[in-house]
C-alpha cells in the first residue's frame, strides 16, 4: 500500500483513496446563546497543543467570534448617546439593531477577518484551527441567511459543530452566566429574558440542515456537520463528561470529512 503525503492547506495522509485528516481547518461553532459554545472553546484552550491535536484534531486555536464586534457597536452607541447626545449608529435606545442587515454585516466581517489572518500569519492554515462562533435566530434571518454571507474560502475549509439545547435551557444558562461587572465578557455576557425570547426563541437549524444527516449544502459547497447534544449541560463543569462527548462528536465529524 502506497502512502503519499499531500497538503490540502492542512496536512493529511492519503491511504488508497481515503484522506486521513490531520486537523480541522475551520469549525463553525453554532447554537443558541449560552448553549455551551464558549465553554467548549475555553476547555480546548486549556489543553496543550499536543493533547488538543491528538485527541480532538484541533491545532492552535484562533477564534473569530462576532460578539466582540457587536459589543463594540453597543459601546460606541452608548458613548454617542450619553457623551455627544447623538443617536446611535447601530442600535436603538432599547438595544436592538436599527437595521436587519447589520446581522449580515457581522458575518461579512468574520470572512474579512479570516482573509486577513491568512495574509498576516505565517503558515496559518498549516498550524491553526479557526473556530468561527456565532448564534442566529429566525427573527434576524437565521443560519440560512447568515451562511449566504460567508466567503467560499471559509466554506470550502469549514465544518459545523452545532451545540443543541432547547430554548428553555438557553434561557436558564443565559441568566446563570450573568456577571454585571463584565457585560463584555465572552463567558459572562447575558441578554435580558425579553431580548433573548424575541431574538432566539425560534431558530432555523432544522430547516438549515434540511434533513441532511452529514452535510449541509451552501453556495453549492457541501459542509460536513455534527450535533453536540447539551441538554444535560456537560459544558458548564467542563471536565470528564465534556471531554468524552466532545471527543466522540469530533471523531464523528472527522470520519464524515474523510468520506467527503
Higher pLDDT, 97 or 20: 97
* Cα atoms in the 13 Å half-sphere on the side-chain side of 193: 6
Q: How confident is the model at residue 84 (pLDDT cuts 50, 70, 90)?
A: very high
DSSP letter string, the chain: --EEEEESSSEEEEETTEEEE-S-SEEEEEESTTSSHHHHHHHHHTS-HHHHHHHH---EEEEEEHHHHHHHHHHHHHHHHHTS----SSB-TTS-BSSTHHHHHHHHHHHHHHHHHHHHSTTHHHHEEEEEEE---GGGTHHHHHHTTS-HHHHHHEEEEEEE--HHHHHHHHHHT--TT-TT-TTT----HHHHHHHHSS--HHHHHTT-SSEEEETTEEEEEEEEE-TT--TTT-SHHHHHHHHHHHHHHHHHHHH-
Q: Which residue segment(s) compose the domain that 141 sits in?
A: 24-63+113-259
Cell of 109: 466581517
Give the span between the Cα atoms of 147 and 73, in whole angstroms. Answer: 22
Q: How many domains does the chain have?
A: 1
Could you identify the residue written with the cell 430547516? 207
Residue 15 reports pLDDT greater than 80: no
Q: Does residue 104 lie in a domain region? A: no
pLDDT score of 31 more than 50:
yes
**Considering the domain boundaries, does residue 230 fall inside one?**
yes
Does the pLDDT of residue 19 top 90, yes or no? no
Mean pLDDT of the chain: 91
Flag whether 141 is in a domain.
yes
Size of the chain in residues: 260
Report pLDDT for 45.
97
Is position 49 within any domain? yes
Residue 16 counted as domain residue = no
Q: Is the pLDDT of residue 3 over 60?
A: no
Closest Cα to residue 18, out of 256, 254, 257, 259? 259
Q: What would the pLDDT profile of 88-132 be if each residue is shown by its tens digit?
A: 999 998 999 999 999 999 999 999 999 999 999 999 999 999 999
pLDDT surpassing 50 at residue 187: yes
30 falls within a domain: yes
Q: Determine the Cα angle at 15 with ends 12 and 18, to 5°.
A: 75
Query: What CATH number is associated with residue 207?
Result: 3.40.50
Q: Is residue 203 part of a domain?
A: yes
What pLDDT is attached to residue 14? Answer: 39
Amino acid at each position: 500500500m502506497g502512502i503519499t503525503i499531500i497538503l490540502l492547506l492542512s496536512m493529511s495522509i492519503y491511504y488508497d483513496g481515503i484522506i486521513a485528516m490531520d486537523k480541522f481547518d475551520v469549525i463553525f461553532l453554532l447554537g443558541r446563546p449560552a448553549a455551551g459554545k464558549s465553554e467548549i472553546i475555553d476547555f480546548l484552550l486549556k489543553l496543550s497543543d499536543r493533547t488538543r491535536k491528538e485527541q480532538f484534531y484541533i491545532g492552535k486555536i484562533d477564534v473569530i467570534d462576532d460578539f466582540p464586534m457587536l459589543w463594540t457597536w453597543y459601546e460606541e452607541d452608548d458613548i454617542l448617546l450619553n457623551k455627544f447626545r447623538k443617536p446611535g449608529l447601530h442600535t436603538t435606545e432599547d438595544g436592538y439593531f436599527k437595521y436587519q442587515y447589520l446581522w449580515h454585516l457581522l458575518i461579512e466581517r468574520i470572512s474579512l477577518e479570516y482573509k486577513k489572518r491568512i495574509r498576516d500569519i505565517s503558515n496559518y492554515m498549516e498550524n491553526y484551527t479557526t473556530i468561527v462562533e456565532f448564534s442566529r435566530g429566525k427573527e434576524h434571518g437565521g443560519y440560512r441567511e447568515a451562511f449566504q454571507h460567508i466567503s467560499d474560502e471559509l466554506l470550502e475549509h469549514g465544518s459545523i459543530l452545532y451545540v443543541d439545547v432547547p430554548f428553555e435551557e438557553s434561557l436558564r444558562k443565559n441568566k446563570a452566566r450573568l456577571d454585571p461587572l463584565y457585560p463584555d465578557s465572552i463567558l459572562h455576557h447575558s441578554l435580558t429574558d425579553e431580548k433573548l425570547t424575541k431574538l432566539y426563541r425560534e431558530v432555523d437549524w432544522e430547516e438549515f440542515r434540511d434533513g441532511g444527516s452529514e452535510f449541509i449544502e451552501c453556495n453549492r459547497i457541501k459542509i460536513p456537520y455534527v450535533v453536540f447534544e447539551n441538554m444535560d449541560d456537560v459544558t458548564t463543569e467542563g471536565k470528564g463528561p465534556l471531554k468524552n462527548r466532545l471527543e466522540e462528536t469530533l471523531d464523528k465529524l472527522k470520519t464524515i470529512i474523510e468520506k467527503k
